[in-house]
Structure 1
Amino acid sequence: MSLGAAANLRCLGEGRKHRAVPLTTPTQRVLRVWTAERAGEAPQPLFPTRTGRRLSADAIERLVRRHATTAAQSCPSIRPADLHPHVLRHSCAMALLHAGVDTAVIALWLGHADIRSTGIYLHADMTIKQRALDQTILRKRLGHDLAEHHRLLPRFVAYLGHIGAPTVTINAAMDWALAPEVDAATSNPARRMTIARRFAQHMAGLDPRTEVPPPGLISFPQRWHPPFIYTRTDLETLTTQARRQVRGRLPAATHSTMLGLLGATGLRVGEAIRLDRTDIDWTDQALLIRESKFGKSRLVPILPSTVTALRDYSR
């Protein structure tokens, strides 16, 4: 950080590229107060934890959400559920754009390798952006993993804005998924189409002009790997080694019997570890599996050798 003439921050960004980010006068004042307060050594992190380590991205996300919740009490326009650290980056870019800064300068400021990435702030229709944000919020609340969604959906929205499309069409989704920079030999086209299709499904309830791409337009490449099947000899060797290598008579017997039971009956691991002694029918030679997948129960017949192994273990 340099707070003298031409004040700037030197950053190591995406792709391990270095860049200098200019600091506005108000930002310089805030940083001067902060550096005076923390009074650390130059090589130390600018924003440390209580133990002096560098703050993690997850910690920053938690801080943003916590303080946004408090700030929303006095500023209703702040929506804590929508606020993510990356939104602050977007807000900075929009502020620069509204101030008349050229998009090429904004691209350098943000560290975009391709100026087209900056086009989202210039071309994306605000209505589409809001609907993309709404869809992201909904899917996140439903517990979906949105790492790829966060990365690809803004690019699709930027593409729609670039071509002047007011909503999603099948042709637009296909053209974006199969763009020249996308390697057709990978799963990237199919993943892109999945993002576009889900967004189209969301938009269809809001804009009747929306076209939802049908499933199967772009298929994921099939990468089938033949499964490894244990032979009887393999299973016997596995259970024998488990009994020999584990210290303690009971742990050794538990490991050996559990592995043997899984191989002999085909039970799921969760089903096996939930078994009680009362679930074994010694007379009819069967196991009672209670409320397994989809809450269903079933009887699993077992071989006499399995009954013998379970009886020995129960003793």
Structure 2
Amino acid sequence: MTTLRSALEQYVSMRQGLGYKYQQQARRLANFVSFMEERKAVTITTKLAVAWATLPPDRHASWVLRLTDVRGFARHVANIDPGTEVPRAGILPPLKRAKPYVYSDAEIEALLKAARALPPANGLRRWTYHYLFGLIAVTGIRLSEAIGLERADVDLKEGLLTVRESKFGKSRLVPLHPTTRAALRSYAKRRDAHLGSCCGTHFFVAERGGRLRHQYVHRVFLCLSREIGLRRPGDHSGPRIHDFRHRFAVRTLLGWYREETDVEQQLPALSTYLGHTCVRDTYWYLSACPELMEGAARRLDRRWEVKP
């Protein structure tokens, strides 16, 4: 008899063999199998799947994602155990995508200025966060992509970033504006002067040359956000690092509308630049930003305007 644990190993191996990274899903499903084992349950049921998916009770944002993981696994297990129940879609309320926050130029300037004031005064830390947040703001790359950049991925001579194996396993080239190249060159000089031979392989590094960690970057961002008034003390929501990416996309689209560019023709290029797997993900910005919706509506009105 195949146990859920061995079935999970087969399932994860199959998914990864098809080219999916499937690392976070594998960890969540291992937790689900442990949940089943603690209850001495050998067959997946909808009731048990929902009970696990809705843990912890105050993390509503992850419920649908967790149940989606179990649904895929249950379909696989159903081929081995006919008694397996596959939780149907729609049992839990759908996850509402966060409305993007579009930073103003003044807010970004204030954040970068606050980053430069981080202690220690003679350290590298303040420059690392200043240039890291600045790069994300002007290029729209993901945080994971920025802190994952290795020194060889940043070609300051040609003005190109090589983003490798990003969110969906895709790699791409991101061109840099001359002012961004100059800023990154300045950071590299400071980094190398500060660390010497102790510098690791990553472009952005921590105070002693190690790789930056997501949790520490988010912690610094939260402190800076409160310092400049983007968030109030105790707020559990507000502008995020990922909103730099939203700002980049929205500002690009707004610029195209104002320049009377054929937005529909250019969207695939923006989608590729951002590393989206589908243009549909880029279209989302049109509905998420009222100003963009107004621009699209005005253009549609002109297109269908009846001329005498």
TM-score bracket, shorter-length normalisation? 0.3 to 0.5
Higher relative contact order (CA 8 A, sep 6+): 2
How does the TM-score come out when normalised to structure 2? Answer: 0.39
How does the TM-score come out when normalised to structure 1? Answer: 0.38
